[in-house]
């Protein structure tokens, strides 16, 4: 590697870091505003126009805040954990293109690299949980480990099905493969698996059990404050952005614009904007879920992952393989995928929720049964038989 | 204390986790020490007393009219229901006849307060299961009710409005139109809240069949109110021992089947609808008239003792009052429903997951001001 190349990569990495930091700032603002909309609130309104500068104010607060080291903490592990979470999240973006040729390293094995690096996050979470010397943090770290490892499989399998369609692991090739139609049309089931597993990888509602504010009060990050917490926060939002971007690249046609009227510089600028718009649409969907759903319990989460998502992702691979092997037209894959997706939703509504009947509360009326003095003795056994 | 040893292959110890008193999901300053084996709770030990203010003893040093302010601070989510219980006790001791209009005002305000209290439960319960939106919908309704309270009593929380022999003052002229608007809003709001959470697939998964308690166990633990009715026991003080003027209203009592968290949750949602029914009837029946009996400013009930039961939003709220004929209570004992309901916690938490602990604790809807007194 020559010096020029080194400088090129260093500048690229710096630009990427600045770009991602800016995206995180925007993302936090969008999330707060979107959630506020769902919850009939205004969201941040004070700092800047409609609170647009709020993320900066928050960042400043976090950086200026005192960093606290718990006295029992395992110092090295405790201080290294934020980096162990943050660096992989940044590394992922080395191969994710935001437009044609707008990528730091156009790897042929791009998807493989993404899968390999994204697994590393779990180590950082475990380190944070262990290093904090806090029981809540440790439980959170262990939960995170269990959750991330089990959802890794459907996540990878969903990616693999797309790679099979294109016969390539290069992200640009995958986007080019969608020049006629986005893969959401071919693999709706794959998109469902990918997004669900992606949500679990992110630890976002309804899979935010390692944060679990109501019981674990923040999980592995419970003891962190100030800048170190900010690093976790940054990593988390970069990961959210990554999942959004990957969804767009793999299933929604990337930066491809149907019948783009321009070419040259205007074309690349517009395609980046188009790509970002799609990404934000996916992320808004994630925020929407966050504003709507409760959290699953750890055993339900595991059951959902291993009993439903993992088999389903294998089935997805198999049907993709069959269709490709026999050279059937791709719309057959769409059809099978849709049928399976419907069956999945049916199965979820039947078995994931509850086996008990839905309405178990009856209203007993006393109209006309009142006598003087109106005394109704409690009759537990009789009432139960109702 | 000896932790129950279970047969295990590996040599492990249970992890002791201290939940509270600074834990955000313990609904105040409540502490529960849980021993967990992985994610399973092996044993749970509730600790209370962090909010003990000696209210009952304090009451012995105050005039009867001043005790009402202390009762406001027992169940600080349903203040008016507490005030009512105390005033009913004193009135029963003095054999006072309360004017009709005063009783109607009391019932309307108390039922509104019940809705406000259940709305708080609804929102906080949403947070407990991890949904962050319900609390804002719950608080929207609560805010509307408190706005009305503010115009009627002059305060949003510590009203000191229900007095011995009646209420502090008559309703304002704008009460009826405001009430009509509020009723419409609440009707809509309750349905909205119901739609938002009750039949959500994940909410069902988190609450159905969790923390079950049968009718006999519930009665044995002294559980009352919505938590008891969720277990399938048809017991409501407003029906079984009507106080004030509750015998004049037609309303239903929601009763659950399994006594699980979902039943406890939904009984409360349904109760809000029934409370609206009571308020509508009371508004229709209410007639102008005096709002306070002719009582001396400093009440001196005759020597004797009395016990009054009322149905507070949390259950059977009882007041035992001993008078020695002076202007201050000789002894006062409050039978707080939250305190009794809390006793079932250890039983409910058996074999639960850590995440369920919060859901179960939320479902019995305790108010620490009442538990610790």
Domains of chain B: 55-348+358-372 (1.10.645.10)
Strand partners, A124: none
- Residue with tokens 């049309």, as numbered in its chain: A185
Q: Which of A297, A361, A379 sits opposite B256 (nearest CB)?
A: A361
Q: Are B25 and A358 inside 8 Å of each other by CB?
A: no
Q: Please state, in angstroms and rounded to a whole number, the distance separating the CA atoms of residues B141 and A237.
A: 33
Check: CB of residue B256 under 8 Å from CB of residue B226.
Answer: no
For the record, the structure tokens of B239 come out as 């029906």
- Chain A residues with CB under 8 Å of B257 CB are 360-362, 384, 386
Using a CB-CB cut-off of 8 Å, the residues of chain B touching A299 are 39, 353
Inter-chain touch A292–B39, beta carbons under 8 Å: no
Residue A204 to chain B, least CA–CA distance (Å): 11
* A300 chain-B contacts, CB cut-off 8 A: 205-206
- Do B204 and A40 count as a contact with CB atoms less than 8 A apart? no
Nearest chain A alpha carbon to B277? A365
Distance from CA of B82 to the nearest CA of A (A): 23
The residues facing B371 across adjacent strands are: none
State residue A282's pLDDT score: 92
How far apart CA B123 and CA B121 sit, in angstroms, is: 6
| Buried-exposed string B331-363: b where 16+ CB fall within 10 A, e elsewhere | ebebbbbbbbbbebbebbbeebbbbbbbbbbbb
Whole-model pTM: value is 0.85
The sign of the CA dihedral B279, B281, B286, B292 is negative
Set of chain B residues whose Cβ sits within 8 Å of the Cβ of A35: 132
| CA terminus-to-terminus distance, chain B | 27
Three-class secondary structure of residue B252 per DSSP: strand
HEC profile of B208-249: CCCCCCCHHHHHHHCCCCHHHHHCCCCCCHHHHCCCCCHHHC
Contact A383 B233 (CB under 8 A): yes
B309 forms beta bridges with B318
The residues near A311 (Cβ < 8 Å, ≥ 6 apart) are none
Select the residue of A209, A213, A358 nearest B204 (Cβ to Cβ): A358
**Residue in chain A lying closest to B25 (CA):** A214
Cα–Cα distance between A311 and A309 in angstroms, integer? Answer: 6
Cβ atoms B348, B28 nearer than 8 A: no
Quote the CA–CA distance of B355 and A301 in Å, as a whole number: 12
Mutation site for B-interface testing, chosen from A206, A361, A370, A384 by largest number of B Cβ within 10 Å: A361
Q: What is the spatial distance between Cα B68 and Cα A320, in angstroms, rounded to a whole number?
A: 73
Task: From B212, B222, B211, B215, select the one nearest B343 (Cα to Cα).
Answer: B222
Disruptive mutation site among B134, B246, B257, B278 for chain A (greatest number of A CBs within 10 Å): B257
Residue segments in chain A with a per-residue pLDDT below the cut of 50: 368-377, 379, 382-386
As to burial, measured by CB atoms within 10 angstroms (0-12 exposed, 13-18 middle, 19+ buried), residue A224 is buried
* Structure letter (DSSP) for residue A364: E
Using an 8 Å CB-CB cutoff, list chain B residues near A384.
Answer: 215, 232, 257
C-alpha distances (whole Å) from B212 to each of A352, B280, B337, B345, B350 are 19, 34, 19, 11, 10
Find out whether B342 and B364 touch, Cβ atoms under 8 Å: yes
Tell me whether residues B256 and A360 touch, CB distance under 8 A.
Answer: yes
Q: Name residues of chain B where pLDDT drops below 70.
A: 1-10
How many angstroms separate the CA atoms of A192 and B69, rounded?
57
Residues of B in contact with A359 (CB under 8 A): 266
Where residue A193 falls (left for φ over 0; alpha for ψ -120 to 50; beta otherwise) is: alpha
Tell how strand B304-312 and strand B252-255 pair up: unpaired
Rounded distance, CA B332 to CA A150, Å?
58
Whole-angstrom distance, CA of residue B231 vs CA of residue B252: 16
CB within 8 Å: B25 and A215: yes
Task: Find, in chain A, the residue whose alpha carbon is nearest to that of B231.
Answer: A384
Place of tokens 């419907």: A342
Cβ-Cβ contacts under 8 Å, B263 against chain A: 360-361
Strands (E), chain B: 15-19, 31-37, 40-47, 162-163, 166-167, 252-255, 304-312, 315-323, 329-335
Report the gap between the CA of A328 and the closest CA in chain B (Å): 37
**Long-range contacts formed by B340-343: CB under 8 A, 24+ apart:** B340/B221, B340/B222, B340/B223, B340/B224, B340/B315, B340/B316, B341/B221, B341/B222, B341/B223, B341/B224, B341/B225, B341/B227, B341/B314, B341/B315, B341/B365, B341/B366, B342/B46, B342/B48, B342/B366, B342/B371, B343/B221, B343/B222, B343/B223
Percent helix, strand, coil in chain A, to 5, is 65, 0, 30
- Rounded CA-CA distance A28/A14 in Å is 21
Q: Strand order in B31-37's β-sheet?
A: B15-19, B31-37, B40-47
Of B131, B71, B34, B36, the C-alpha closest to A290 is B131
How many CB pairs (< 8 A) connect A and B? 182
Prediction ipTM score: 0.82
DSSP reduced 3-state for B150? helix
- A257/chain B closest Cα distance in angstroms: 36
| Residue A119 CB-half CA count within 13 A | 12
Angle, helix A330-347 to helix A188-202, in steps of 10 degrees: 50
Say whether A135 and B16 touch across the interface (CB within 8 A).
Answer: yes
């Amino acid at each position: 590697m020559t010096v020029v190349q080194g400088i090129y990569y260093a500048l690229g990495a710096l630009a990427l870091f600045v770009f991602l930091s800016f995206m995180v700032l925007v993302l936090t603002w969008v999330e707060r505003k979107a959630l506020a909309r769902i919850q009939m609130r205004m969201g941040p309104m004070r700092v800047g126009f409609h609170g647009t500068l709020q993320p900066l104010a928050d960042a400043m607060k976090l950086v200026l805040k005192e960093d606290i080291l718990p006295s029992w903490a395992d110092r090295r592990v405790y201080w290294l954990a934020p980096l162990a979470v943050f660096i992989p999240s940044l590394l992922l973006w080395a191969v994710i293109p935001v437009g044609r040729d707008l990528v730091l390293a156009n790897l042929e094995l791009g998807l493989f690299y993404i899968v390999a690096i994204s697994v590393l996050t779990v180590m950082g979470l475990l380190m944070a949980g262990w290093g904090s010397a806090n029981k809540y943090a440790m439980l959170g770290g262990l939960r995170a480990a269990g959750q991330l490892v089990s959802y890794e499989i459907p996540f990878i399998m969903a990616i693999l099905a797309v790679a099979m369609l294109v016969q390539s692991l290069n992200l640009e090739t995958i986007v080019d493969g969608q020049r006629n139609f986005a893969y959401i049309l071919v693999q709706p089931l794959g998109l469902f698996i990918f997004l669900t597993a992606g949500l679990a990888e992110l630890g976002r509602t309804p899979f935010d059990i390692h944060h679990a504010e109501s019981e674990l009060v923040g999980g592995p990050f419970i003891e962190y404050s100030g800048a170190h917490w900010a690093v976790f926060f940054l990593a988390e939002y970069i990961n959210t952005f990554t999942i959004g971007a990957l969804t767009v690249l793999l299933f929604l046609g990337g930066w491809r614009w149907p019948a783009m009227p321009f070419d040259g510089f205007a074309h690349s600028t517009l395609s980046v904007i188009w790509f970002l718009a799609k990404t934000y649409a996916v992320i808004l969907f994630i925020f929407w879920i966050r504003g709507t759903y409760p959290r699953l319990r750890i055993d339900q989460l595991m059951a959902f992952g291993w009993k439903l998502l993992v088999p389903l992702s294998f089935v997805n691979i198999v049907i993709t393989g069959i269709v490709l092997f026999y050279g059937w037209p791709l719309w057959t894959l769409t059809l099978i995928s849709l049928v399976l997706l419907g069956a999945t939703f049916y199965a979820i509504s039947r078995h994931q929720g509850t086996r008990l009947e839905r309405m178990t509360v009856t209203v007993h009326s006393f109209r006309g049964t009142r006598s003087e003095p109106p005394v109704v003795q409690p009759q537990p056994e009789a009432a139960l038989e109702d | 204390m000896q932790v129950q040893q279970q047969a295990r292959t590996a040599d492990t110890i249970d992890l002791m986790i201290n939940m509270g008193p600074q834990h955000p999901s313990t609904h105040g300053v409540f502490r529960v020490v849980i021993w967990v084996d992985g994610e399973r709770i092996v044993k749970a030990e509730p600790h209370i007393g962090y909010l003990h203010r000696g209210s009952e003893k304090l009451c012995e040093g105050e005039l009867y009219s001043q005790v009402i302010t202390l009762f406001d601070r027992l169940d600080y989510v349903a203040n008016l229901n507490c005030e009512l219980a105390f005033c009913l006790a004193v009135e029963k001791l003095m054999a006072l006849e309360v004017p009709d209009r005063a009783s109607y005002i009391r019932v309307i305000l108390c039922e509104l307060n019940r809705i406000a209290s259940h709305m708080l439960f609804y929102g906080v319960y949403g947070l407990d299961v991890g949904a962050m939106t319900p609390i804002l919908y719950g608080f929207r309704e609560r805010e509307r009710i408190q706005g009305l309270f503010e115009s009627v009593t002059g305060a949003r929380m510590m009203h000191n409005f229900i007095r011995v022999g009646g209420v502090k003052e008559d309703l304002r002229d704008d009460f009826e139109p405001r009430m009509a608007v509020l009723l419409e809003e609440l009707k809509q709001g309750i349905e909205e809240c119901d739609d938002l959470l009750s039949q959500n697939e994940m909410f069902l998964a988190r609450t159905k069949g969790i923390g079950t308690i049968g009718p006999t166990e519930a009665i044995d633990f002294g559980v009352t109110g919505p938590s008891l009715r969720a277990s399938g026991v048809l017991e409501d003080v407003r029906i079984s021992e009507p106080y004030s003027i509750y015998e004049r209203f037609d309303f239903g009592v929601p009763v659950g089947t399994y006594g699980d968290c979902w039943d406890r949750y939904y009984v409360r949602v349904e109760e809000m609808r029934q409370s609206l029914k009571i308020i509508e009837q009371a508004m229709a029946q209410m007639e102008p008239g005096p709002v306070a009996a002719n009582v001396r400013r400093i009440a001196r009930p005759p020597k004797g003792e009395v016990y009054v039961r009322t149905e507070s939003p949390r259950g059977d709220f009882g007041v035992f009052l001993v008078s020695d004929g002076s202007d201050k209570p000789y002894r006062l004992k409050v039978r707080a429903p939250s305190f009794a309901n809390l006793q079932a916690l250890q039983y409910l938490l058996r074999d639960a997951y850590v995440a369920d602990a919060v859901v179960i604790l939320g479902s019995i809807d305790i108010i620490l001001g009442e538990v610790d007194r």
